[in-house]
Amino acid sequence: MKRIAAIVPAYNEETAISAVVNDINSLAISNQLLIDVIVVNDCSKDSTAEIISKLNCIALNLPINLGIGGAVQTGFRYAFENGYDYAVQIDGDGQHPASEIPKIVNLAVTGGFDVVIGSRFISNQGFQSSAMRRIGINYFKWLNRMLVGTVINDSTSGFRLINRKVLESVVEYYPDEYPEPEAIIIYSLNNFKIGEVSVTMKERQGGVSSIGTFASIYYMFKVTLAIIFTFTKIKFKK
């Protein structure tokens, strides 16, 4: 049976984190999946560290704040070093319902995908994010298509699964801030097979978004630059 690492990055998530971890654990039991929950506490200022130490999970406490990308990469590192077959990323704020995990895992196993992305925009059900955010998502969709030709409907979704082959590559390099759209470019250029599956997401159950209003302009600019640089870097290597 495949061993799955559920990586939950958490920054100041004391209100939502225990529900997230418990949901994944009970799903693992009811679906007979071998899932270990790995919570990466990104140097939270609240009681997240204390809460996760009492939960049934592997707690990785970062000594300094690395940002979402660095936190997730910590989980990837652990999963790779400890021989997991798959790693699935699940946000610590409760946006990603554990009940959708089997769908994602199934597509990876049956479809032979290296990367499976849980997308909000295939069946357009559940929480759809704000209008501004959707403009950004469409922009990245367009940018992806222009550069690598792959169409990913929800390139900012953090609800995604990668296999061991991809784990090896992301331990080497994974973007720091706003990593999701850039990671897709890296996966495509490395010829990993990317699949998308429709999932229903919820509105965040606690905490604040990692992207504020003003930050969104910076986000678009920074990610565009990062994508273009990563694109040229990998293209020229080949």
Partner 1 sequence: MAKIQVIAIAVSLLFLLYIVRLIIKGKLREEYSIVWIVCTIVFIVFSFWRNGLEILARTVGVYQAPNLVFTGALFAVFIYLLHLSIVVSKLHQQNKQLAQEIAVLKNEFTKKSINQQAINQ
Task: Kindly state whether residue 68 participates in binding partner 1, applying the rule CB under 8 A.
Answer: no
Of 40 and 184, which has the nearer Cβ to partner 1? Answer: 40
Tokens 């994974």 — which residue? 174
In the complex, minimum distance from the CB of residue 63 to partner 1, in angstroms, rounded to a whole number: 5
Distance CA 116, CA 161 (A): 5
Task: Kindly state whether residue 95 participates in binding partner 1, applying the rule CB under 8 A.
Answer: no
58: helix, strand or coil: strand
Q: 139-176 b/e with 16+ CB inside 10 Å = b?
A: ebbebbeebbebebbbbbbbbbbbbbebbebbbeebbe
DSSP state of 109: H
Tokens matching residue 227: 């994508």
50, 81, 168, 203: which one binds partner 1 (CB under 8 A)? 81
In the complex, minimum distance from the CB of residue 57 to partner 1, in angstroms, rounded to a whole number: 10
Task: Identify whether the C-beta of residue 188 lies closer than 8 Å to the C-beta of residue 108.
Answer: no
Stretch 13-42: interaction string toward partner 1, x if CB under 8 A: ---------------------------x--
Task: Identify whether the C-beta of residue 215 lies closer than 8 Å to the C-beta of residue 178.
Answer: no
In the complex, minimum distance from the CB of residue 53 to partner 1, in angstroms, rounded to a whole number: 8
Task: Kindly state whether residue 1 participates in binding partner 1, applying the rule CB under 8 A.
Answer: no
Task: Kindly state whether residue 62 participates in binding partner 1, applying the rule CB under 8 A.
Answer: yes
32, 63, 110, 213: which one binds partner 1 (CB under 8 A)? 63
86: helix, strand or coil: strand
In the complex, minimum distance from the CB of residue 78 to partner 1, in angstroms, rounded to a whole number: 6
Task: Kindly state whether residue 70 participates in binding partner 1, applying the rule CB under 8 A.
Answer: yes
In the complex, minimum distance from the CB of residue 59 to partner 1, in angstroms, rounded to a whole number: 6
Task: Identify whether the C-beta of residue 90 lies closer than 8 Å to the C-beta of residue 24.
Answer: yes
CB atoms within 10 A of CB 210: 17
In the complex, minimum distance from the CB of residue 232 to partner 1, in angstroms, rounded to a whole number: 17
Of 28 and 58, which has the nearer Cβ to partner 1? Answer: 58
